[in-house]
């Protein structure tokens, strides 16, 4: 990169699955977005134990490491704190970062409760620090193209948002009790992990949700305790059993402020589904369909087509006219999951450097958290809940 680029020194807290994804994105941005005008510098990575975080620093390309997030946040050579730890630690790290005047980038969901998300939003606002939440699917070119088409009025009045997010990585009852299956750490299961993505996409494409009715359930209530974790969601099991304290499945109905209706389903117990995040939007003039497992494609139905030629067409969102993709390969040469982080972090760093608000920010994160919590209340009370 050119020497005139503004440098933003990154301090990353956490080093497993999302740590790998975020680190890779920072390292790749300059290769694909050379006109960004900002150079992210991998200054320091933080983890609780030196024997684990030191090799992560070397592997991901960080200049140094810390074992205390407070020390990281206090470092004058750090501009941005990126939080990729489990949900129960988000609030204390974000509050410390904001107190030290750092830019803050936090993984989703923003927090484990609305109260925590409120506290985090107040902290970044009171300290006037730039902030963003990693709803990385906003960086999918096909979803960004859907946003563009909806804003152009190609779907007309929106009637339905229909969505599922299906995985199967915990179908085996011998899958160990990783932190994502523990409520005191993760907050919730498939609901916060997967449905949060659907909620943010729905908010972005259709608008705010007014009320919900839902149910959460846990099918496998005990699992072997974890012996050793890995960075691919799993790990090795011990012989001791422990309680699963999060949901395995989340299903809810929603009514949007604009009158549209929504359905949301998220589970990690759908055998055969690996990362099947799919939504369909129906409007008065047409429909759009997206499936994350075919992430370079967007299906479009136009009611204005001649009657004898109507049908869903596949838009290959790999051309330079589509969001982000002109920065990658020639048309038809597809991009993948890791590029969603590159695209989103590109947008966030561009806005941070320009001193303007970015999205998704902590306001967006809190909005998603309010829906998550309302669905949980609805499941417990078996009644419709307004989004508070």
At 375, is the secondary structure helix, strand, or coil? helix
Give the whole-angstrom CA distance, residue 83 versus residue 374: 25
- From 137, 167, 194, the end of a domain falls on 137
pLDDT at 231: 66
Beta strand extents in 230-354 (DSSP E only)? 235-243, 249-256, 261-267, 276-283, 286-291, 297-302, 313-316
The domain total for the chain is: 2
Same domain? 153 vs 228: yes
- The residues, ordered by sequence, that sit 6+ positions from 170 with a Cβ below 8 Å of its Cβ are 181, 220, 248, 268, 269
Residue 46: closest CA among 88, 80, 7, 2: 80
- DSSP letter for 223, please: E
Give yes or no: residues 129 and 208 share one domain: no
CA distance 33 to 346: 8
Q: Are residues 125 and 184 in the same domain?
A: no
CA distance 9 to 7: 6
343 pLDDT band (50/70/90 cuts)?
very high
What's the mean pLDDT in 246-255? 98
Q: How far is CA 195 from the centre of its chain?
A: 10
The rounded distance, in Å, linking the Cα atoms of 15 and 3 is: 29
Spatial separation of the C-alpha atoms in residues 28 and 43, rounded to whole Å:
15
d(CA 239, CA 207): 47
Reply yes or no on whether the pLDDT at 233 is more than 80: no
Question: With contact defined as beta carbons under 8 Å apart, do 304 and 287 qualify?
Answer: no
SS3 6: strand
Pair (187, 150) in one structural domain: yes
Q: What is the pTM of this model?
A: 0.96
Domain boundary among 112, 137, 162: 137
Instruction: Give the span between the Cα atoms of 2 and 149, in whole angstroms.
Output: 36
In angstroms, how far apart are the furthest CA atoms of the chain?
Answer: 67
3-state secondary structure of 18: helix
121 and 18 in a single domain? The answer is: yes
220 and 328: one domain?
A: yes
The yes-or-no verdict on residue 324 having pLDDT over 80 is: yes
Residues 308 and 260 in one domain: yes
Is 1's pLDDT higher than 70?
Answer: no
Nearest C-alpha neighbor of 107 from the set 131, 143, 127: 131
pLDDT tens-digit series, residues 275-310: 999 999 999 999 999 999 999 999 999 999 999 999
- Do 131 and 149 lie in one domain? The reply is no
CATH number of the domain within which 14 lies: 3.40.50.720
Helices 337-354, 17-32: crossing angle, 10 deg rounding: 70
Query: String of b and e for 234-263 (b: at least 16 CB within 10 Å)?
Result: bbebeeeeeebbbbbbbbbbbbbeeebebb
Distance, CA of 388 to CA of 214 (rounded, Å) = 16
CA angle 187, 194, 145 (to 5 degrees): 140
- How high does pLDDT run on average in the chain? 96
pLDDT in tens, 84-103: 999 999 999 999 999 999 99
- Based on the domain organization, do 225 and 236 belong to the same domain? yes
Distance CA 327, CA 358 (A): 20
Q: What is the mean pLDDT of residues 369-388?
A: 97
360 belongs to a structural domain: no
**In this structure, are residues 292 and 120 in contact, taking their beta carbons and an 8 Å threshold?**
no
pLDDT at 2 over 60: no
Distance CA 126, CA 141 (A): 34
Residue at a domain's end among 116, 137, 158 = 137
Could you give phi then psi for residue 332, rounded to 5 degrees?
90, -10
Is 14 domain-assigned? yes
Q: Do 281 and 323 belong together in one domain?
A: yes
Q: How many helices (H) and strands (E) does the chain have?
A: 11, 17
Residues 6+ apart with CB under 8 A from 35: none
361/132 Cα distance (integer angstroms): 4
User: Based on the domain organization, do 305 and 165 belong to the same domain?
Assistant: yes
Same domain for 161 and 121 = no
Which domain does 65 fall in, by range? 6-137
The yes-or-no verdict on residue 168 having pLDDT over 90 is yes
C-alpha–C-alpha distance, residues 340 and 344, integer Å: 6
Of the candidate ranges 117-131, 228-242, 254-268, 370-384, the one whose mean pLDDT is the lowest: 228-242
Give residue-wise pLDDT tens across range 145-154: 999 999 999 9
Sorting pLDDT into bands at 50, 70 and 90, what band is 356?
A: very high
The per-residue pLDDT for range 11-37, each reduced to its tens digit, is 999 999 999 999 999 999 999 999 999
Alpha helix stretches (DSSP H) within the chain: 17-32, 50-60, 69-74, 90-99, 114-126, 141-151, 183-186, 190, 196-205, 337-354, 362-381
Q: What is the CATH number of the domain that holds 283?
A: 3.30.360.10
């Amino acid at each position: 990169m050119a020497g005139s680029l503004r440098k933003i020194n990154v301090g990353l807290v956490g080093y497993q699955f999302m740590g790998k994804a975020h680190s890779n994105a920072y390292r790749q941005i300059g290769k694909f977005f050379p006109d960004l005008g900002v150079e992210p510098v991998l200054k320091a990575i933080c983890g609780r134990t030196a024997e684990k975080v030191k090799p992560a620093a070397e592997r991901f390309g960080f200049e140094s490491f810390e074992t205390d997030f407070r020390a990281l946040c206090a470092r004058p050579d750090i501009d941005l704190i990126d939080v990729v730890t489990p949900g129960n630690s988000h609030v204390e790290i974000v509050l410390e970062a904001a107190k030290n005047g750092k830019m803050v980038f936090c993984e989703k969901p923003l927090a484990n409760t609305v109260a925590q998300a409120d506290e985090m939003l107040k902290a970044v606002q009171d300290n006037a620090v730039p902030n963003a939440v990693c709803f990385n699917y906003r960086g999918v070119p096909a979803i960004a193209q859907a946003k563009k088409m909806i804003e152009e009025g190609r779907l007309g009045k929106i009637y339905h948002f229909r969505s599922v997010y299906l995985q199967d990585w915990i179908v085996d009852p011998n899958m160990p009790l990783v932190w994502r299956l523990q409520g005191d750490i993760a907050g919730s299961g498939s609901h916060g992990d997967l449905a949060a993505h659907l909620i943010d996409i729905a908010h972005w494409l259709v608008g705010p949700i007014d009320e919900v009715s839902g149910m959460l359930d846990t099918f496998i209530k005990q699992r072997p305790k974890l012996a050793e974790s890995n960075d691919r969601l799993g790990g090795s099991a011990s012989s001791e059993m422990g309680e699963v304290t999060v949901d395995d499945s989340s299903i809810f109905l929603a009514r949007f402020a604009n009158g549209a209706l929504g359905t949301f389903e998220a589970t990690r117990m759908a055998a055969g589904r690996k990362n099947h995040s799919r939504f369909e939007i129906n409007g008065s003039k047409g429909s759009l369909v997206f499936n994350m497992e075919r992430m370079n494609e967007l299906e479009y139905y136009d009611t204005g087509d001649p009657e004898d030629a109507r049908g869903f067409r596949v838009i290959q969102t790999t051309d330079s006219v589509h969001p982000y993709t002109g920065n990658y390969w020639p048309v038809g040469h597809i991009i993948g999951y890791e590029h969603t982080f590159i695209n989103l972090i590109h947008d966030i760093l561009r806005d941070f450097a320009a001193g303007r608000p970015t999205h998704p920010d902590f306001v967006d994160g809190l909005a998603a958290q309010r829906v998550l919590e309302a669905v949980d209340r609805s499941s417990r009370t078996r009644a419709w809940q307004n989004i508070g």
